[in-house]
Chain A
């Protein structure tokens, strides 16, 4: 159950996108998000949507899953769009009421913002739906390697991230257990206003913290007993392999970028 919350966005599968190297996917996703900000007109926007549609189809993950990624953010999107429509000015005015007005620029801006929100969320859902959190962490680690030069302890950070990910479900289970224990002592978690509810989190959070520190200490002892030495070099079991298909994906990204800038210049 707790697993579903944390890794809920990952949809197991064996599509070309699932098999892509996580570094490639992470790079594709970030670059795509940057490209979104260069889209300025109908043609460029449509071109980027087309590219995204192609990856969604390649991911073999149902559209329903992507909708699930957008849904929790729907209110924020709608609110931002409404603000843009009502409060930004410029161009011909279509409707006015006090300081609230609907103008042509406002409508255009809100459309662009709506577009950006939708594609950025969908693009990152493509990444998380086809890549496990662990693989994304692996990719991040790889991108952090150059930081070693400026004495950033990349390997320790990597281990920290992977242990943190590993312990999220364990600690979630613990939180549920503590909440149940407090409930059995007569605490009502879902009553009262928001302040009261937040106050009630305290008797859950404090034991959780104490328990986590105890866990950390035991884990540190166990790691030491298994020969872990933060200073010593280590070998790595988990490997990332760059395949031909990963290079192909990079070429595809280049094509998308080149066409995008072409459309910007010539249309």
Chain B
């Protein structure tokens, strides 16, 4: 079976009474961009850690491209699936950019002769070839996150999980990372799972999943989910600007079709309406 499948997953953190996830079922289609949203503590990051085998579910089964996530499969799994975490500093292992990208290769016992081309190639993909010898203190948050992505790309993975990877970045850094992902999506065959609060990042997805109350509250295409502004508001998730504008217009008595609008679509609609 292709993609990532979570079947009847339950997980309780040690020491806590209530499960964070109960009987959760989720399908992440292969080579698509799936975004998981939900308020803090809803279990979004737990899902990412369960998929990567960093946590073991109390119940249920997870498969990644047909491979069951188990202790024995972890090495194989980590080779085809990478996570970019929230804090750019706390995932930078190497002393320089090239060393950091090499870290994953070293772990997977890639022979030394093959490393240099893989590192050069990965750096080229994220547009950081000039900074191979740079030390982490010389890099911005956005650059560090791009190095993290390069470290994953060097292993030619099938899946990248972004666990709030842009949340600690300034707007420029965030744009830098999102632009990179948008271009990688065109050039590489990648399944992208992103966990986010960022409206822009949400609207880039093929599939949007809302996590709430230990399970999935809603899932569907971006259009289907983001037009439910009431639900988004209840969850405390950021609402995309275009959609928020539509709500204001509706409240002001303007008749706007009930669908999702990105900023550009909203601008277009307004222009049509006004002309």
Contact = CB atoms under 8 A, between A and B. Distances in A.
- Do chains A and B stick together as partners? yes
Interface residues of A, number: 30
Interface stretch (B30-38, B108-116, B186-194, B237-245): B108-116
B137 A225 contact: no
B90 interface: yes
A243 to B, nearest CB: 18
Interface string A221-250: 111111111001111111100000000000
B67 to A, nearest CB: 15
Which of A2, A134, A218, A227 has the most chain B CB atoms closer than 10 A to its own CB? A227
Contacts of B95: 134, 162, 165-166
Interface string B99-137: 100111111111110010001000000000000000111
A170 B254 CA distance: 53
A69 interface: no
Interface string A209-229: 000000100110111111111
A227 B151 CA distance: 11
A3 B75 contact: no
A163 B104 CA distance: 15
Nearest to A218: B90
Nearest to B85: A222
Contacts of B155: 227
B47 interface: no
Given A134-B95, A235-B109, A222 B115 contact: no
A110 to B, nearest CB: 42
B89 interface: yes
Interface stretch (B76-84, B201-209, B216-224, B266-274): B76-84
Contact of A166 (B52, B92, B105, B119): B92
Contact of A170 (B111, B112, B115, B136): B136
Interface string B135-155: 111000000000000011001
Contact of B78 (A219, A227, A234, A236): A227
Nearest to B108: A227
A166 B93 contact: yes
Contacts of A2: 137
Nearest to A1: B137
Which of B52, B79, B105, B106 has the most chain A CB atoms closer than 10 A to its own CB? B106
Contacts of B93: 163, 166, 219, 222-223, 226
A166 B136 contact: yes
Interface residues of B, number: 38
Nearest to A169: B137
A163 B90 CA distance: 11
B109 A225 contact: no
Nearest to A167: B89
A234 B137 contact: no
Given A166-B136, A223-B93, A225-B52, A235 B112 contact: yes
A102 B102 CA distance: 62
Contacts of A219: 90-91, 93
B115 A226 contact: no
Contact of A227 (B75, B87, B112, B115): B75
Contacts of A162: 94-95
15 contacts: A3-B135, A3-B137, A163-B93, A165-B95, A219-B90, A222-B91, A224-B54, A226-B151, A227-B75, A227-B108, A229-B75, A235-B110, A235-B115, A237-B98, A237-B112
